[in-house]
């Protein structure tokens, strides 16, 4: 069978660029490449990924079957031939019968292995066929529903028994059992590996948000593969839990802790039930989750594998069948062919292992990957503030004091080790920004600080005793040991007296401080050459923070690249690609020969986009929005005049992006004082990006309705003007299609804050470890690339489909530099024109929309 394709199953006649995309994708998967694929939004990228990748998977499985069948045929032929005595000769010193025996044993083993694999494959296929077609499964699930009343009655009885239990019995569950370190546990779980179901060849598709994943699943459902593919969608407990009592806890940490505690209770009951010759201890009945029953999970797994579901459909299915979607989806991973999951479940090793995701020899597709480097750094960075550290110290101290007579000496030693580290962190929270090498901050290996067990135990301890005799602060003593942290104790008393005065304080107190400490210490296990610890003091201990920064994201991407057969990194806007390759691929040891790039144009006609670079405004004022010039009244006034002219000729919606919230606030205040804002509002109704994320939908809805009303009868208004911020709530993931975004205006260049300590350290690290290219240092290239990535994301909000059209106005003379223009998406760059004076640019803009209006008549 050929290792390439020219025809692909597709729900409609694909565009030429979609066919090219699928062919390039197919080749990259077959050759085991690391592919960087750029396809603008509106070009059908998701369907191209689905049909291209699943076509390869189907062909790959067929090739494997044919190769296995050929090997099996050859093996059986060799076995039958070896039974002929005349065919057996030996040139070695060994007797012929020994050589013959060894040869036949190897051939028999090969044939047996091939037959076993073929049998497994047939069983998987037959089971999937039965799942998809056998109506008996539905009846089985209906029969299962009859058990629900009994299940919940038993659960209620369990709770009632628990409330009647004596207090000293309840405390038993808060005592840490014999703790074994990671080194002590090595080799103890080897036998469990044999019980793990074999993983079939599969494709892992990951994206940034659950809404993006749901959109991808909906595209799969519309594709020609919807009836034949086994797809499973993964999510966190917060997204997939259907136990209302657990969901009501709100915090993801509390939900995780409660779920794991229920699992421990379930396994504890099983262990106690199977132990023979041991008298069962009387004590309180422990709560177990009624949705986590093996038979129910297996039945839900079968339904998940038989039909494509998104997360909402999984939740509905779980409630109907009283099965846990979180654990059922994990059971579905080994036989699934397509696994849809969030970034961190692939990119974070511990999360990956906990979810049961195995990458060896598999394909990973990372979509919306323009921020992949930042995502990797963020996932593996961690921050603690003074309030969290003090609460962790207080709770752990009280725990040790309450149970010191019942704790083993080794566990008390572990607690003291953690307390020592926490006290050291509290003491170091002083002065201005200070960079600290990890090995200087912690002289011992942070991995030996065994916080996980104590995190879980303290969760129950605080939940039970907070507000009932156990305070959230330690008492100040006069002995030498406690005088050492007297300031910490005074702060804890202050924290308790003010702990519920603000929503922010409630949020801090709702999270488990020991879990946060654990996360920070785990982050410190990174190599100290790739990370820094920064301490920031802001005046009060509660606001001071200590933060671990990962400077080299390639460290954690290397394993993904090495284990996977192929990795596809896709996005609507991947430019600039150079830093992406250098920082994530070359630094991870990927050679140029393994990297393949694909970038396609847009499906829109070239005349449907008008990108303009403005070097000066209507009055001739040069547009230079550098930090030194952008606050001048002349520059702000000129920007107001530019917008006023644009609003005169652009119908529908205009979206104007400012480089920062601070500058947006200042320039709008200036326009308000000068009357420019009032003049703008006479032409278009003005909207501003909201401060709170939960208000975004409402603002967008009002913006859209206003434009629709103006199109019918504007009463003098020609549409709406939306002020937004680059990198803000509306610069990513929001579609300003059709009349919502007929013009996108970019005011200035959104360079990051060069004075940021994190950014300075990142630049220093890159300058030290990466080569200089084109006379520019890697640190300087980072600044420019961060800026242009943000610009590309913002201007990509418009033009969302083939029939859409829009203009893009870049207001700053610096956009005219060739190096800057080269970092724009290819399909935009090809149509961009630079204007040193405003007149010709305005004439081109007016002509563009006049022609569109004439075509619509």
Residue 147's pLDDT is 52
CB 811, CB 614: distance < 8 Å? yes
The DSSP symbol for 485 reads T
**DSSP count for the chain of H helices, then E strands:** 37, 18
Q: What is the pLDDT of residues 664-688, one digit of tens each?
A: 999 999 999 999 999 999 999 999 9
Residue 756's pLDDT is 86
pLDDT over 90, % of the chain: 31
pLDDT at 452 over 50: no
> Cβ atoms within 10 A of the Cβ of 571, count?
24
DSSP assignment of 619-665 equals T--B----TTTTTSHHHHHHHHHHHHHHHHH--EEEEEEES-HHHHH
Residue 502's pLDDT is 44
Domains of the chain: 203-261+289-360 (3.40.50.300), 381-432+514-551 (no CATH), 609-750+799-856 (3.40.50.300)
Residue 185's pLDDT is 43
Q: What is the pLDDT of residues 378-435, one digit of tens each?
A: 888 888 888 888 888 888 888 888 888 888 888 888 888 888 888 888 888 864 444 4
Closest by CA to 261, choosing from 242, 246, 280, is 246
Cis previous bond, 636, omega within 30: no
Residue with the two structure tokens 């029969």: 143
Q: What is the pLDDT of residues 137-178, one digit of tens each?
A: 554 555 455 455 555 555 555 455 444 444 454 555 556 555
Residue 193's pLDDT is 40
56-71 average pLDDT score: 84
The torsion defined by the Cα of 182, 183, 185 and 191, in degrees rounded to 10, comes to 110
Sequence-ordered list of residues with C-beta below 8 angstroms from that of 15, at least 6 positions apart, any chain: 43, 44, 603, 802
pLDDT at 369 over 70: yes
Closest by CA to 406, choosing from 243, 176, 628, 191, is 176
pLDDT at 478 over 70: no
101-123 average pLDDT score: 68
Residue 294's pLDDT is 86
Q: What is the pLDDT of residues 777-818, one digit of tens each?
A: 889 988 998 999 899 888 887 887 788 899 999 999 999 999
Cα four-point dihedral sign 226, 230, 235, 237: positive
628-632: list long-range contacts, CB under 8 Å, 24+ apart: 630/663, 630/748, 631/663, 631/666
Residue 166's pLDDT is 47
CB 644, CB 674: distance < 8 Å? no
pLDDT at 362 over 90: yes
| Alpha-carbon distance values, 591 to 518, 572, 574, 648, 777 (Å) | 36, 24, 20, 53, 22
pTM comes to 0.80
Q: Would you place residue 702 in the very low, low, confident or very high pLDDT band (cuts 50, 70, 90)?
A: very high
DSSP assignment of 816-834 equals GSHHHHTTS-HHHHTT-EE
């Amino acid at each position: 069978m050929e290792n390439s394709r020219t025809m692909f199953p597709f729900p409609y006649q694909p565009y030429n660029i979609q066919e090219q995309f699928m062919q390039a994708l197919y080749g990259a998967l077959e050759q085991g490449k690391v592919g960087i694929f750029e396809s603008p939004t509106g070009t059908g990228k998701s369907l191209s990924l689905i049909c291209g990748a699943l076509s390869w998977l189907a062909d790959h499985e067929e090739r494997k079957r044919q190769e296995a069948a050929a090997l099996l045929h050859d093996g059986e032929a060799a076995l039958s031939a070896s039974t002929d005595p005349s065919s057996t000769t030996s040139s070695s010193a060994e007797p012929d019968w020994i050589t013959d025996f060894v040869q036949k044993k190897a051939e028999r083993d090969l044939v047996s292995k091939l037959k076993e694999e073929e049998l497994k494959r047939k069983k998987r296929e037959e089971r999937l066929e039965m799942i998809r077609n056998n109506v008996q499964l539905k009846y089985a699930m209906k029969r299962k529903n009859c058990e629900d009343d009994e299940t919940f009655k038993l659960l209620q009885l369990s709770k009632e028994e628990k409330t009647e239990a004596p207090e000293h019995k309840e405390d038993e569950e808060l005592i840490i059992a014999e703790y074994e370190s990671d080194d002590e546990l090595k080799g103890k779980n080897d036998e469990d590996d044999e019980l793990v179901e074999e993983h079939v060849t599969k494709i892992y598709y990951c994206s940034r948000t659950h809404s993006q994943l749901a959109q991808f699943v909906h595209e799969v459902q519309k594709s020609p593969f919807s009836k034949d593919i086994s797809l499973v969608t993964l999510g966190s407990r917060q997204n997939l839990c259907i136990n209302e009592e657990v969901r009501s806890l709100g915090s993801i940490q509390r939900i995780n802790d409660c779920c794991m505690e229920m699992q421990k209770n379930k396994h504890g009951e099983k262990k106690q039930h199977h132990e023979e010759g041991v008298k069962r201890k009387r004590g309180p009945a422990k709560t177990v989750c009624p949705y986590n029953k093996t038979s129910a999970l297996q039945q839900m797994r079968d339904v998940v594998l038989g039909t494509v579901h998104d997360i909402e459909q999984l939740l509905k299915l779980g409630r109907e069948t009283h099965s846990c979607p979180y654990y059922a989806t994990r059971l579905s991973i080994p036989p699934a062919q397509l696994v849809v999951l969030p970034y961190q479940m692939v990119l974070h090793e511990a999360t990956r292992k906990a979810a049961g995701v195995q990458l060896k020899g598999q394909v990973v597709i990372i979509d919306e990957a323009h921020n992949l480097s930042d995502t990797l750094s963020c996932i593996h960075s961690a921050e603690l503030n003074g309030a969290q550290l003090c609460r962790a110290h207080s709770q752990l101290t009280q725990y040790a004091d309450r149970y010191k007579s019942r704790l083993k000496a080794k566990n008390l030693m572990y607690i003291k080790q953690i307390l020592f580290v926490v006290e050291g962190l509290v003491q170091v929270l002083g002065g201005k920004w200070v960079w600290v090498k990890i090995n200087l901050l912690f002289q011992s290996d942070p991995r030996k600080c065994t916080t996980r067990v104590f995190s879980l135990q303290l969760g129950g301890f605080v939940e039970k005793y907070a507000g009932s005799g156990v305070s959230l602060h330690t008492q100040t003593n006069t002995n030498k040991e406690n005088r050492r942290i007297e300031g910490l104790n005074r702060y804890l008393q202050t924290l308790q007296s003010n702990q519920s005065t603000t929503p922010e304080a409630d949020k801090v107190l709702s999270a488990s401080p020991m879990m946060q400490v654990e996360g920070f210490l785990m982050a410190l296990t990174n190599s100290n050459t790739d990370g820094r610890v920064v301490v920031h003091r802001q005046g009060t201990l509660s606001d001071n923070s200590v933060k671990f920064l990962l400077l080299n994201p390639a460290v954690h991407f290397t394993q993904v690249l090495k284990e996977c057969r192929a990795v596809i990194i896709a996005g609507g806007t991947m430019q600039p690609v150079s830093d992406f390759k250098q920082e994530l691929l070359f630094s991870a040891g990927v050679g140029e020969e393994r990297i393949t790039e694909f970038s396609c144009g847009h499906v829109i006609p070239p005349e449907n986009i008008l990108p303009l670079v403005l070097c000066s405004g209507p009055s001739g004022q040069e547009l230079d929005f550098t930090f030194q010039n952008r606050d001048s009244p002349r520059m702000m006034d000129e920007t107001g005049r530019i917008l006023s002219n644009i609003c005169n000729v652009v119908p529908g919606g205009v979206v104007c992006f400012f480089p920062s919230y601070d500058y947006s606030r200042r320039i709008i205040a200036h326009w308000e004082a000068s009357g420019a804002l009032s003049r703008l509002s006479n032409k278009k109704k003005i909207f501003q990006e909201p401060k709170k994320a939960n208000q975004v939908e409402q603002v967008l809805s009002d913006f859209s309705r206003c434009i629709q009303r103006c199109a019918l009868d504007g009463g003098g208004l020609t549409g709406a003007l939306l002020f937004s911020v680059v990198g803000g709530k509306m610069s990513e993931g929001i579609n300003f299609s059709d009349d919502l975004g007929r013009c996108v205006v970019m005011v200035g260049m959104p360079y990051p804050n060069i004075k940021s300590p994190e950014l300075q350290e990142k630049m220093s690290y890159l300058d030290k470890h990466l080569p200089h290219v084109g006379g520019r240092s890697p640190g300087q290239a980072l600044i420019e690339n961060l800026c242009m990535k943000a610009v590309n994301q913002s201007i990509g909000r418009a033009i969302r489909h083939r029939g859409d059209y829009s203009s893009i106005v870049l207001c700053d003379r610096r956009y005219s530099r060739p190096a800057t223009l080269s970092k724009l998406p290819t399909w935009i760059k090809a149509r961009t024109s630079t204007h040193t004076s405003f007149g010709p640019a305005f004439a081109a803009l007016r002509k563009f929309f006049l022609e569109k209006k004439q075509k619509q008549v």
